[in-house]
């Protein structure tokens, strides 16, 4: 389980870092300059971007978790994804899915932690 979580963590972290590098620097610098011209201190500008990024990440993590639980419930009740076409070859006809509360907590905390790092990295270089 720990190896799988580490692999998934890497798969989540690498695209996130790629996304922060993919945005053009001039596009990312317009909003902070506007805020600075309006009189905001550099620490306030950084704080605004960190809070905004973390709120967006948290909202995405919560929506993703809810959607995942709903999809798992649909699979448990209706067996949308079957094991195969041949009847009697398997004991169960649909892929079994079990949702544990602790798994949801670990996934949610992992996504929020990785997202916080992905938000912090570009903001650190902002001003």
Q: How far apart (Å, rounded) are the C-alpha atoms in residues 24 and 63?
A: 28
Q: How far apart (Å, rounded) are the C-alpha atoms in residues 17 and 14?
A: 5
Half-sphere exposure of 100 (CA within 13 A, CB side): 4
State both tokens at 88: 């009697």
Regarding pTM above 0.75, the answer is no
Instruction: Phi first, then psi: give them for residue 91, nearest 5 degrees.
Output: -70, -40
Residue-wise burial string across 75-94, b where 16 or more C-beta atoms lie within 10 A, e elsewhere? beeeeeeeeeeeeeeeeeee
Q: For residue range 16-57, list pLDDT tens digits in order.
A: 656 555 555 445 556 777 887 888 888 888 888 889 888 988
Tell me how far the alpha carbon of residue 17 is from its chain's centroid.
Answer: 12
Residue 93 has pLDDT above 70, yes or no: yes
């Amino acid at each position: 389980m720990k190896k799988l979580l580490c692999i998934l963590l890497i798969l989540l972290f690498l695209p996130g870092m790629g996304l922060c590098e993919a945005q053009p620097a001039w596009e990312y610098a317009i909003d902070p300059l506007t805020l600075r011209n309006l009189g905001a201190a550099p620490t306030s500008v950084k704080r605004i971007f960190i809070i905004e990024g973390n709120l967006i990440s948290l909202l995405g993590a919560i929506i993703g978790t809810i959607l995942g639980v709903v999809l798992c419930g649909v699979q448990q009740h209706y067996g949308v994804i079957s094991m195969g076409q041949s009847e009697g070859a398997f004991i169960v006809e649909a892929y079994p899915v079990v949702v544990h509360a602790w798994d949801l907590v670990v996934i949610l905390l992992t996504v929020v932690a990785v997202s916080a790092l992905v938000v912090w990295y570009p903001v650190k270089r902002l001003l």
